[in-house]
Amino acid sequence: MNINTTMIATTTKETKGPVTIGKATKGLSGATVAPPDKSVSHRAVILGSIAEGATKVEGFLEGTDNMSTLNAFKQMGVAIDRSGSTALTSTTMASRLMIHGVGALGLSEPEDIINANNSGTTTRLLTGLLSAQPFFSVITGDASLRRRPMRRVVDPLRLMGARITGRMDGGLLPLSIEGQRLKGIEYKMPIASAQVKSALLLAGLYAEGETIVEEPAKTRDHAERMLMAFGADIKVDGLRVRITSKNKLNGCEVNPPGDISSAAFFMVGAMITPRSDLLTMFVGINPTRTGIIQILKKMGGVVIVGKEDDFTGEPVAGIRVKTSSLRGVDINAAELLPAIDEFPIICIAAAFAEGTTRIRGAGELRVKESDRIKAMGNLLTTIGISNKETDDGIVVEGAGSKTIKGGVVIDSLGDHRIAMSAAIAGLRAENGITILDPECANVSFPGFYEQLRKISGR
Ligand code: S3P
């Protein structure tokens, strides 16, 4: 593989300017680790901050999204010490946090606006938490986040008594929140969203009576698992989660597993690159997140999941993948939900599969960091892969084992998962693929390009 190193900054955390990923000359091989889980890292900071006593996070993801959450709690008076991590998942992008929890009512009013930057998780989870604090706060974000829908979280919070105002009647950031005493509700979520569920559970931690949230389909359950570990009064019964304000939270140790959504880029990269055999260690295999394994297996991918271990309530395992002859398949909404963030890289797997892949029920992808259906449709067209966007998905005509020409430029649109998907496609492009604004990968995977360089033997 040929990464244009003159365009890569010397630190692994900053990659300024366009990057060109050239065709792989060797397979992706050896053993590697994925960066710590983004969703778990957010929740660890939130719960650690409002718990009594100290919370140690061994292997916190230093991505820009997680730093937005961390900075928000610093603004609210929480002391958080950060140092190098010794976690098994330890890489340059992981750190150890010592969070000195202030207790449920110990947060102080932020003097300035909270900036969530690109992070939807920070925004939606904090909107739930801030609605119940006895102070005023304002939250905003970057241009991408300011376009993303907030009514999904604002509407149920208003039913709980929250006072939230914002552009488009609370539909868009900035949101201003006058914290209130909330009351518990029973809420049937119209869309499957772990961010909405988690926001309501955080509000429910403060609400009078019970808060019951019912999901239309099971989304990632990291919040429920961690709330249990911190001692919350929470019960999960299938798609229903119930929480009260009865118990106080107690600080504990959190050990985020490797993020399967980040590992997915290397998994697909190895499958589509000849002579690959790559092991990614300590990957989180929470069943609400393993859709990518099922989808790649359905496409004929060679995936071997090792022995399961436990990282403070989250299952982990090594995932080994080898070069595979992928074939086109139909993927429906139920199959995609546990791989919701993997849509862009699944499109790349489909691009190098034999035959047609149809993805349906992916409407939510239109309101992520970018309209990911459109972004991937354009990306595939630019690299010469025929495809058709549908309202809620995409149809991709795979190139099979053929190499694509490349020599093209892809605008990442500032979306980390689009940038990394383009990079992986570059491994199969005769003249490489150049990515604009590649450093947005730092949102979830600082050091991505450097790690890709290492596993491809350069
Ligand atoms: C997340 C939930 C998902 C996911 C996002 C992280 C979370 O978003 O796409 O990257 O940590 O709760 P939705 O809740 O919008 O589906």
266-307 per-position pLDDT tens digit: 999 999 999 999 999 999 999 999 999 999 999 999 999 999
Are residues 368 and 324 both part of a single domain? yes
Query: For residue 13, what pLDDT is reported?
Result: 44
Whole-number Å distance, alpha carbon 120 to ligand 1 midpoint, is: 8
Distance 368 CA to ligand 1 centre (A): 9
Q: Which of 239, 254, 269 is the last residue of a domain?
A: 254
Q: Which of 232, 254, 276 is the last residue of a domain?
A: 254
Identify whether residues 172 and 274 lie together within a single domain. no
pLDDT of 17 reads 86
Residue-wise pLDDT tens digits, 400-455: 999 899 999 999 999 999 999 999 999 999 999 999 999 999 999 999 999 999 99
Rounded to whole angstroms, the maximal C-alpha distance in the chain is 62
Protein residue closest via CA to atom 15 of ligand 1: 193
Here the tokens at position 165 are 């105002």
Instruction: Please say if the pLDDT value at position 91 is more than 80.
Output: no
Binned at pLDDT 50, 70 and 90, residue 15 comes out as low
Mean pLDDT of 208-237: 98
50 and 192, same domain (yes or no): yes
- Rounded to the nearest angstrom, the distance between the alpha carbon of 2 and the centre of ligand 1 is 33
User: What's the domain range around 27?
Assistant: 5-35+257-455
> What band does 8 get if pLDDT is binned at 50, 70 and 90?
very low
Are residue 132 and residue 265 in the same domain, yes or no?
no
Query: Do 216 and 288 lie in a common domain?
Result: no
Instruction: Specify whether the CB–CB gap between 338 and 330 falls below 8 A.
Output: no
Tell whether 403 and 434 lie within a shared domain: yes
Return all residues near 112 (Cβ < 8 A) that are at least 6 apart: 75
Tell which wins on pLDDT, 4 or 270: 270
Based on the fold, state whether residues 118 and 216 are members of the same structural domain: yes
Residue 19: CB partners within 8 Å, gap ≥ 6? 3, 4, 7, 8, 423, 434, 435, 438, 449
Does 341 participate in catalysis according to the annotation? Answer: yes
Share of the chain above pLDDT 90, in %: 93
- Whether 362 is in the pocket of ligand 1, judged by its Cβ within 6 Å, is no
Q: Could you tell me if 428 and 311 lie in one domain?
A: yes
Q: How confident is the model at residue 319 (pLDDT cuts 50, 70, 90)?
A: very high
Ligand 1: which residue has its CA nearest to atom 11? Answer: 39
Q: What's the DSSP call for residue 429?
A: B
The pLDDT of residue 314: 97
Average pLDDT over residues 341-349: 98
Structure-token match 């029973």, residue found: 186
Q: How confident is the model at residue 88 (pLDDT cuts 50, 70, 90)?
A: low
Q: CA-CA distance, 327 to 423, in Å (whole number)?
A: 21
61: region left, alpha or beta (phi > 0 left; psi from -120 to 50 alpha): beta
Active-site residue identified among 341, 411, 415, 437: 341
Is the pLDDT at 331 greater than 70, yes or no? yes
Whole-number pLDDT of residue 94: 87
Listed ranges 1-15, 92-106, 377-391; the one with the highest mean pLDDT: 377-391
Which residues share a beta bridge with 298? none
Neighbour count for residue 41 (Cβ, 10 Å): 31
Q: Give the model's pLDDT for residue 87.
A: 64
Please determine, for residue 117, whether its predicted confidence score (pLDDT) is greater than 70. Answer: yes
Q: Is 125 in the pocket of ligand 1 (CB under 6 A)?
A: no
Q: Which of 7-11, 108-112, 264-268 has the lowest mean pLDDT?
A: 7-11
Same domain? For 267 and 217 the reply is no
Q: Is the CB of 340 under 6 A from ligand 1?
A: yes
Closest CA to 202 of 226, 219, 218: 226
* Tens-digit pLDDT profile for residues 158-198: 999 999 999 999 999 999 999 999 999 999 999 999 999 99
Sheet holding 433-436, edge to edge: 19-21, 433-436, 408-411
The one-letter code for the residue type at 138 is: V
Point out the ligand 1 atom lying closest to the alpha carbon of residue 341. Answer: 9
Q: Which residue among 234, 254, 274 closes a domain? A: 254
Among residues of the chain, what percentage have pLDDT more than 70? 95
210 and 108 in a common domain: yes
pLDDT on residue 12: 40
CB 79 within 8 A of CB 41: no
Mean pLDDT of the 110-117 span? 98
Alpha-carbon distance 413 to 411, whole Å?
5
Residue 86: which pLDDT band, with cuts at 50, 70 and 90? low
Residue range 139-155: average pLDDT? 98
Of 337 and 1, the one with more pLDDT: 337
Reported as a pLDDT band with limits 50, 70 and 90, residue 345 is very high
For 377-383, what is the mean pLDDT? 98
Domain count along the chain: 2
Instruction: Label residue 154 by pLDDT band (50, 70, 90).
Output: very high
Nearest CA to ligand 1 atom 4: 341
Is the per-residue pLDDT at 312 higher than 90? no
Angle subtended at Cα 356 by Cα 351 and Cα 358, rounded to the nearest 5 degrees: 95
Q: Does the pLDDT of residue 220 top 60, yes or no?
A: yes
